Amino acid sequence: MAVLQESPWYQEILQQGEQNGIRQERLASIELGLEVKFGTEGLQLMPEISQISDLELLKAIQRGVMMVNTIDELQQIYQ
């Protein structure tokens, strides 16, 4: 098992799993923020936002949900 954990493939798979977990957490946070701030209208953005894989862009959207006043302002962050 120790040899497997030292394998570059194992490390790559582990890193991908961690990044996927971070992505899922950010998407869940964005979804909650959209629902709280904009209601069902905000949730309509989730199919588009869910297609984003860039973790830094998702982080910017996550922060943007808290800072913007309109859905249009939020869309400007990622379009």
pLDDT digits 0-9 by tens, 32-63: 999 999 999 999 999 999 999 999 999 999 99
Q: What is the pTM of this model?
A: 0.83
Q: Is the dihedral of CA 50, 55, 56, 61 positive or negative?
A: positive
- In percent, the amount of the chain with pLDDT more than 90 equals 78
User: What's the confidence (pLDDT) of residue 3?
Assistant: 64
Give the pLDDT of residue 7: 78
